[in-house]
């Protein structure tokens, strides 16, 4: 058995996700926006899920929302071994989209559906990865 610690995976942007990860590098939560439907969407795609058009814009989101759902992980993914148990939540953002992310600053027993959350950033490689923390 090796003592070598697993590294957390580093995001590899694609053509469609590059603006999202460029924003993350600057600690900005960027989402696609459909001006015709006046709606945000997440995860990044080539077309709007509302209209099917390819007229999407990138806009900075507030990063605020509420905890919609969560689970407590006891078996870690690579790079998360020292965090067990940790909370992964589904956050419903003020912009109307839901994002799955690690929760920081939340003990498993303290996670509550509906609790106010805000985006925070964790350095990973040469970028930042989004996570959410309580918005107290």
> Could you tell me the two tokens for 119?
């985006």
User: Averaged over 3-20, what is the pLDDT?
Assistant: 85
Query: Would you say residue 2 has pLDDT above 90?
Result: no
Please state, for a pLDDT cut of 90, what percent of the chain lies above it: 82
User: Averaged over 5-25, what is the pLDDT?
Assistant: 90
Could you tell me the pLDDT band of residue 58, with boundaries at 50, 70 and 90?
A: very high
The strand pairing partners of 103, in sequence order, are: 87, 132
Could you tell me the pLDDT band of residue 125, with boundaries at 50, 70 and 90?
A: confident
Which CATH class for the 18-134 domain?
Answer: mainly beta
DSSP string, 32-52: EEETTTTEEESS--SS-TTT-
Q: For 64-119, what is each residue's pLDDT tens digit?
A: 999 999 999 999 888 889 889 999 999 999 999 999 999 999 999 999 999 999 99
Query: Would you say residue 4 has pLDDT above 80?
Result: no
Say if residues 26 and 32 touch (Cβ distance below 8 Å): no
Query: Would you say residue 11 has pLDDT above 90?
Result: no
User: Averaged over 45-70, what is the pLDDT?
Assistant: 97
């Amino acid at each position: 058995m090796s003592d070598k610690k697993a590294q957390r995976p580093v995001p590899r942007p694609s053509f469609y996700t590059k603006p999202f990860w460029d924003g993350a590098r600057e600690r900005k939560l960027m989402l696609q926006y459909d001006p015709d439907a006046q709606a945000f969407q997440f995860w990044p795609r080539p077309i709007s899920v509302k209209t099917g058009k390819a007229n999407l814009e990138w806009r900075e989101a507030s990063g605020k929302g509420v905890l919609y759902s969560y689970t407590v992980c006891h078996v870690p993914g690579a790079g998360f071994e020292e965090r067990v148990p940790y909370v992964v939540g589904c956050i419903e953002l003020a912009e109307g989209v839901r994002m799955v992310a690690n929760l920081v600053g939340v003990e498993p027993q303290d996670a509550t559906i509906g609790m106010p959350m805000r985006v925070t950033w964790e350095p990973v490689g040469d970028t930042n990865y989004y996570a959410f923390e309580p918005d107290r």
